[in-house]
Amino acid sequence: MAEHILLRDLDVPDIKAFDVYVQHGGYEALRKAVGMTPAAVIDVVKASNLRGRGGAGFPTGVKWSFIPQSEPVKYVVVNADESEPGTFKDRQILEGNPHQLIEGAMIAAYAIQATAVYIYLRGEFWDIAANLDACIEDARKEGLIGPDVLGSGWSCEMYTHLGAGAYICGEESALLNSLQGLLGQPRVRPPFPAQKGGGLYYEATVVNNVETLTNVPWIITHGAEEYKKIGTPESPGPKIYCLSGHVAKPGNYELPLGITFRELIFEHAGGIPDGKQLKAILPSGASGPVLPATDAVLDTPLTYEAVAQIGSTLGSASIILMDETVNVAWAASKMMKFFAHESCGKCTPCREGTYWLRRRYEALLDGRAQARDIAILDDVASQMTGVTLCALGEFAVNPVRATIKHFRADYEAWIKQEAAEDKKAAKPAPAREKAAAR
Amino acid sequence: MLKDKYADRIEKIFAKYADKRSAVMSLLYLAQEEYGYVTEDACAEIAALIGTDPTQVRSIAGFYTMFREEPKGRYWLQVCTDLPCALRGADKFYEELLQELGIEDGGTTPDGMFTVEHVMCLAACDRAPMLQCNFHYHEHLDMDTMRALIAQWRAEAGVLAEAAAVGDAPAE
Ligand SMILES: Cc1cc2nc3c(=O)[nH]c(=O)nc-3n(C[C@H](O)[C@H](O)[C@H](O)COP(=O)(O)O)c2cc1C
Ligand code: SF4
Ligand code: FES
């Protein structure tokens, strides 16, 4: 793509300033939208087949159309919790092109006739929230937010809200609880957020990811047909791919959906550093199954469907790369540590399962595991499948089962190496254990 | 009392929400700013402000990693050692930082200057090793830049301490 649609800060460095954004056509899409009927706005977004960029890929226009128009109080909540390991795309939008998110969120709010928009930011985005507040103020002064938006007769406020460090608050129902000042744990569904009883303050609510909404102004301006020329028919549009780990040029890449892993990694991101071989790919952070870096995988297009077909998920396209020096069982232990830390504790299989799995991985890395432990890990993980209240419990199974499936030899290497070698040569015990032993 | 000292700020926070309870996290941040950590008294104060009981507020504080339930060092360093950062040397960086300060994982230096913890992904994986210090990011770190930062923070704290000694610091 010659020009960026989302990461426009790469083309126009000062686009974060209100005036510069407006000079480059900013807020024209909102102007256009409020001249249309709300239903017509939803129809355009539906026709574009924009799919949610927060991980699940749910069609955005369809989500908006679930909102019962008869409800007097409705909300839009922007999910800016961005806490999946390897994900840092929403941050670049928030820092570099914040007005486009604000505009997209206002268009969503108009489409469902919302009374207020809340932007829920991960707590660490402290400086970003302060800047966003200033941006909202700039837009409010111009009549783009607040009472009688652009003389349309529709009024809508916008506020930021800071989280405080909890991955689970990215899960939409936990996010809503957190925003209500309750414990940030998922809700039992139905009712879903779009339904009365399921959303913010139990009112009908649309929850969308930052990147999703940042697509919306372009779609309104250029139309669904133009949008569908980017990407593939099932997965249209541009996508921000976050590349991290063993890659020459880590960072965000805005490219169409449907390019291959190979193009992304080797043509755009400079390949693998130090002449090393690529060994494993995590396409969706810690949450999706790992893939071995075979030719078949590398030639797979990055779409929701194609990545699912080869046994993983595109998720939010936070792609973590590991070269030949990495023992993937070690990587699995890191991911399990993450999930054990982030399990909210509400349901037993996830709370106990992640705790127990983390302990088994510590044993593996300390050289206390035996060959049969591999089967035990796999078995415990499989018992968590399908019985947890939210998807975190499902995500936590992936680091175990997928790494064992594709990289069993790495587990065996830990077991053998530790058994054969002097314990002193092994990795030093984690500091926390040292502290406990005192 | 937060209520008297920050009446304006608290009013502004309440104005954002349809329910006062939603203000609990903002008020916990405010309490932390004021007292250095979330004290028992602060929980009671906040509970009274939002119309709930202190235990509820305490449980919210305990749920999130950014609320401190005990005093920590003046500079609270949270180093990301999650997988993407670890692939770019964050574990080694973390060990060296602990060594440099002569403390263990999660520990505080005896002078109360630094508390060092390791944390999960902070959405800065392309700029590893990185850390968050009192809610501000420092990225692309190595031990040389880290030593310079430590020296800078020590100097800053020295200036503050001197100011306090001559009595310009707010009385508390
Ligand atoms: C454990 C967990 C964590 C999640 N974290 C995030 C997140 O940080 N940001 C996000 O946008 N969606 C996250 N999601 C997905 C949200 O629940 C929700 O699907 C999404 O915000 C919907 O927006 P979209 O349709 O625009 O993608 C998470 C889901 C789960 C289960
Ligand atoms: S699956 Fe895990 S994170 Fe989700 S509700 Fe259950 S305990 Fe909480
Ligand atoms: S893994 Fe360290 S910031 Fe993401």
How do the domains of chain B map onto residue ranges? 2-63, 75-165
Q: Give the pLDDT confidence score for residue A425 in this predicted structure.
A: 43
Distance from CA of B86 to the nearest CA of A (A): 8
Report pLDDT digits (tens) over B125-172: 999 999 999 999 999 999 999 999 999 999 998 877 777 666 554 443
Partners of residue A252 in chain B, C-beta under 8 Å: 126
Task: With a cut of 80, say whether residue A422 has pLDDT above it.
Answer: no
Looking at domain B75-165, its CATH superfamily turns out to be: Glutaredoxin (3.40.30.10)
* Ligand 2 atom closest to residue A390's alpha carbon, by position in its atom list: 4
Residue A197 CA to residue A194 CA, distance in Å, equals 9
Specify the pTM. 0.94
Specify the CATH architecture of the domain B2-63.
Orthogonal Bundle (1.10)
Residue A342 CA to residue A130 CA, distance in Å, equals 26
Most A CBs within 10 Å: which of B125, B127, B135, as the mutation test of the A interface?
B125
Q: Does B55 touch chain A (CB under 8 A)?
A: no
Q: Hey, which of A171, A173, A347 would you mutate to test ligand 2's pocket, going by the most ligand atoms within 8 Å of its Cβ?
A: A347
Task: With a cut of 50, say whether residue A21 has pLDDT above it.
Answer: yes
Residue B168 CA to residue B172 CA, distance in Å, equals 12
Task: With a cut of 90, say whether residue A423 has pLDDT above it.
Answer: no
Report pLDDT digits (tens) over A242-266: 999 999 999 999 999 999 999 999 9
Distance from CA of A108 to the nearest CA of B (A): 20
A72-81, A279-288, B154-163: the lowest-pLDDT one: B154-163
Q: What percent of chain B has pLDDT over 90?
A: 88
CB distance B84 to ligand 3 below 6 Å = yes
Preceding peptide of A191 cis, ω within 30°: yes
Confidence band (pLDDT; 50, 70, 90) for A166? very high
Q: Which of B22, B60, B84 has the CB atom closest to A85's CB atom? A: B84
Q: Does B135 touch chain A (CB under 8 A)?
A: yes
Q: Which of B16, B67, B82 has the CB atom closest to A159's CB atom? A: B16
Q: Does B86 touch chain A (CB under 8 A)?
A: yes
Report pLDDT digits (tens) over A177-215: 999 999 999 999 999 999 999 999 999 999 999 999 999
Average pLDDT over residues A359-381: 93
- Across the interface, do A180 and B22 touch by the CB < 8 Å criterion? yes
Whether the CB-CB separation of A411 and A364 falls below 8 Å is answered with: yes
Cα–chain-centroid distance for residue A359? Answer: 27
Confidence band (pLDDT; 50, 70, 90) for A341? very high
- Across the interface, do A87 and B121 touch by the CB < 8 Å criterion? yes
Q: Give the pLDDT confidence score for residue A383 in this predicted structure.
A: 94
Q: Give the pLDDT confidence score for residue A131 in this predicted structure.
A: 97
* A77 against A371, higher pLDDT: A77
Average pLDDT over residues A346-352: 96
Partners of residue B63 in chain A, C-beta under 8 Å: 166, 183-184
Task: Walk me through the domains of chain A, giving residue ranges and CATH numbers.
Answer: 8-228 (3.40.50.11540), 238-323 (3.10.20.600), 328-437 (1.20.1440.230)
State chain A's mean pLDDT as an integer.
Answer: 94
Residue A33 CA to residue A17 CA, distance in Å, equals 22
Task: With a cut of 50, say whether residue A432 has pLDDT above it.
Answer: no
